[in-house]
């Protein structure tokens, strides 16, 4: 039995609330169990210097954990004077994941910033950030479409992310913090709706694992990601239907 009573192939309860803040072009609150992340998508009418005059857009992520997102208070990065290596890694992961499924040439010379702020952490904050940021990104792209700043939705596929691991010798989906901190194997998976892998981050915590165990973890993670994408589509409603039609036309 898992610490929260779930089956080993069961996600925590997921809710996605759109239009969570007033000013961002896309804004959502995603909850996966007790992990809660605000994801805001902001449109900036410029690109980094290395993309200027190339007719191409850019998508990048920023990530932060608020001081009381955890049981004891964390010191803000601004107070430390620098951000941690873990934070940099997660920011880059968010940006890479989004860029992998967006046609940047169709975005035009503009940047979309994805700010993911963890307000409560109980494991899986990076994967929740990716799953939520994608929904915020769709709303920001829809804003650009309505303002006639882009000609079509430049989205190639839905994506989501989840964690999997080996606990007490058996695979488990969507680890909470207590499970994550004691897992023999801990793995984060980012994947498209079609089952194509964008990124795998995995490690054996003093317990090397086999190719067969990895295959089982990826299969379990894919099941969870397909469920998460269904939650994304439910949250997006009619926008998801339009994206599905576009994907069918391009198939």
In angstroms, the CA 25 to CA 48 distance is 20
Q: Is 6 known to sit in a ligand binding site?
A: no
Q: Is 110 known to sit in a ligand binding site?
A: no
Contact 59, 99 (CB under 8 A): yes
The structure tokens listed for 32 are 């996966």
Q: Is 126 known to sit in a ligand binding site?
A: yes
Q: Is 73 known to sit in a ligand binding site?
A: no
Q: Is 141 helix (H, G, I), strand (E, B) or coil?
A: helix
- Give the contacts of 115 (CB within 8 A, at least 6 positions apart): 38, 39, 40, 41, 42, 61, 62, 63, 64
Which residue is associated with the tokens 């910033």? 113
Compute the residue count for the chain.
251
DSSP string computed for 163-232: EEEEETTEEEES--HHHHHH-SEEEEEEEETTS-EEEEEEEESS----HHHHHHHHHHHHHHHHHHHHHH
Known binding-site positions for phosphate: 86, 124-126
- The binding site comprises 86, 124-126
């Amino acid at each position: 039995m898992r610490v929260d009573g779930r089956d080993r192939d069961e996600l925590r309860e997921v809710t996605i609330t759109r239009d969570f803040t007033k000013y961002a072009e896309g804004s959502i609150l995603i909850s996966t169990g007790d992990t809660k992340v605000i994801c805001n998508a902001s449109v900036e009418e410029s690109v980094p210097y290395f993309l200027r005059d190339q007719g191409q857009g850019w998508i990048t992520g920023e990530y932060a954990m608020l001081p009381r997102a955890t049981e004891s208070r964390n010191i803000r990065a601004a107070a430390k004077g620098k951000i941690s290596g873990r934070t940099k890694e997660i920011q880059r992961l968010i940006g890479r994941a989004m860029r992998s499924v967006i046609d940047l040439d169709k975005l035009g010379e503009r940047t979309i910033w994805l700010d993911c702020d963890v307000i409560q952490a109980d494991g899986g904050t990076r994967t929740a950030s990716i799953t939520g940021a994608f929904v915020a990104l769709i709303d920001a792209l829809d804003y650009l479409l309505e303002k006639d700043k882009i000609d079509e939705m430049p989205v190639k596929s839905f994506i989501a992310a989840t964690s999997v691991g080996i606990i007490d010798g058996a695979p488990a989906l969507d680890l909470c913090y207590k499970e994550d901190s004691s897992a023999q194997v801990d793995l984060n998976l980012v994947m498209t709706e079609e089952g194509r892998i964008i990124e795998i981050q995995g490690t054996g915590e003093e317990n090397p694992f086999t190719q067969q165990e990895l295959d089982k973890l990826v299969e379990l993670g894919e099941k969870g990601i397909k469920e998460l994408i269904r939650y994304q589509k439910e949250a997006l409603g009619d926008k998801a239907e339009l994206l599905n039609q576009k994907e069918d036309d391009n198939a």
